[in-house]
Structure 1
Amino acid sequence: MENFEYSKELWRTGIVLVVFVILNFIITKLTKRYAKASHLSEHRTNLISKYIDFLMFALFCVAMIAVWGSKSEDIFTFIGTALTIIGVAFFAQWSILSNITSGIILFFTFPFRIGDVIRVHDKDFPIEAQIEDIKAFHTLLRTREGELITYPNSLLLQKGVSIVPIKQEDKEFYD
């Protein structure tokens, strides 16, 4: 039986794969446990799970490049080039990145929940509405008049927002 030329790399690949699968499983369970303890919606929990999956896949790719013997200079050159290209693209689309980051911050700091009535203190466009859903890029708000507003997550973090207590007579409108 001949020695297989890449047997070490194949073993290492298998080990890294198993480690990443187990690590991803543990992180997903911890995220779901946190979401359940904080009474977060399933939609928001799934969104954060997708972000984690993407990050884990990127780390797995970097680990595979290292396992298969690429020189560290080549890896750092590739990562530097990729980050530069991504940085330029995100700079051009800073509002998208800002809204995604804001969505993650809203998930973990959780200043308000779906169903809360909020007042956005904006000098030019003040809003008082109930939160219907919080998505990756925006939050859906419904006014008393029934108007549905799509409000960017980044603005929710930039503007002053207060939670308005629901009066008993208004409760049936918002339910």
Structure 2
Amino acid sequence: MPDWANETLDIAIPLIQVALILLAAWLVYRFVRRVIERVTTSYALPEDVALITRRTVGFLLYGGALLWGLERLGVSGTVLWGAFTGFAAVGAVAFFAAWSVLSNIFCALLIFTTRMFWRGDTVEVLENGEKPGLKGRVMDINLVYTTLQESGSAEEGTTLKIPNSMFFQRAVRRWHGSSPALPRTVDLTSPRSPDTPPG
């Protein structure tokens, strides 16, 4: 083969390999994204969880494909390894700095997947046997806090924002659907007394 053809192949083959690597990463990401959407729908997870999971998977896949593509283009493995360890060190520092936030995010995933409680349920985080705990109706569950509408509070319309990790550090009492303190509904249009057994 002529020299110009060899030079063209030396340039074209690595570029084709990089293109194939990026295409494979894109196909894998599309597949994983569909799996995430199915899991999110099956477990009724919030959109925030799906969004964070998709971004994390995309970062790992495309980051790995980029490093692999650079290696195919002739970038030194020592340079790539140095860049990777540098990013890993920064990520480790950020991980420990944001440990409490990450703990709450992980506990939010556990709340949804184990169905510990749901919107509309009344829950109480028990302190101990002597003191009443934090109690209220679940209004919202996000990645960091669970919002409770207080029951039995002196002020109307107050809410509690409880970190999700607290539900896994203490015992939790749960009432399904609505607070047990609500009065029983009596049908006043019926001539029969509520204490009278059905005849």
Give the TM bin, normalised by the shorter chain: 0.7 to 0.9
Q: 1:98 to 1:126 in 2, by over 3 A?
A: same
Partner of 2:108: 103
Of 130, 136, 141, which residue of structure 2 is paired with 1:134?
141
Q: Distance in 2 between matches of 1:28 and 1:90?
A: 23
**Offset of 1:133 from its aligned partner?**
0.7
Alignment of 1:140-155 (within 5 A): 140-144=147-151, 145=153, 146-155=157-166
Greater mean alpha carbon deviation, residues 56-65 or residues 151-160: 56-65
- Structure whose CA Rg is larger: 2
**2:120 corresponds to 1:115:** yes
In 1, Cα distance between equivalents of 2:101 and 2:30: 29
Q: Determine which of 36, 39, 44 is the counterpart of 1:31.
A: 39
Deviation for aligned residue 1:11? 2.5
Give the equivalent residue in structure 2 for 1:87.
92
In 1, Cα distance between the equivalents of 2:27 and 2:126?
50
> 1:7 aligns to what?
16
Instruction: Kindly indicate whether the alpha-carbon contact (under 8 Å) linking 2:136 and 2:149 is maintained by their aligned counterparts in 1.
Output: yes
Counterpart of 2:108, as a letter, is G
The aligned counterpart of 2:182 is 169
Structure 1 stretches of at least 4 aligned residues deviating more than 2 Å after TM superposition:
1-5, 70-84, 164-172
For 1:171 and 1:65, the matched residues in 2 are separated by: 65
Q: CA deviation at 1:19?
A: 2.5
Report how far residue 18 of structure 1 moved: 2.2
Distance 2:114 2:49 in 1: 13
Question: Are residue 21 (structure 1) and residue 22 (structure 2) matched?
Answer: no
Q: Which whole-Å deviations, capped at 9, do the CAs of 1:66-90 have from their partners, x for residues lacking one?
A: 1331555554443333232222223
Corresponding residue for 2:59?
58
Inter-CA distance 163–72: structure 2 relative to 1 (3 Å threshold): farther
The structure-2 alpha-carbon separation of the partners of 1:29 and 1:76, relative to structure 1 and needing over 3 Å to count, comes to same
Alignment CA distance shift 1:120-1:29 (3 Å): same
5+ residue gaps, structure 2: 186-199
Q: Distance in 2 between matches of 1:120 and 1:127?
A: 5
Farther-moved stretch of structure 1 (108-117 vs 162-171):
162-171
The two structures, once aligned, show a CA RMSD in angstroms of 2.7
Give the CA deviation at 1:171: 7.7
The CA deviation at 1:140 is 0.3
What runs of 5+ residues in structure 1 fail to find an aligned partner? Answer: none
Is the alpha carbon distance of 1:72 and 1:109 closer, same or farther for their aligned partners in structure 2, counting shifts above 3 Å? Answer: farther
SS of 2:46's equivalent in the other structure is helix
Q: Counterparts of 1:127 and 1:86 in 2: how far apart (Å)?
A: 35
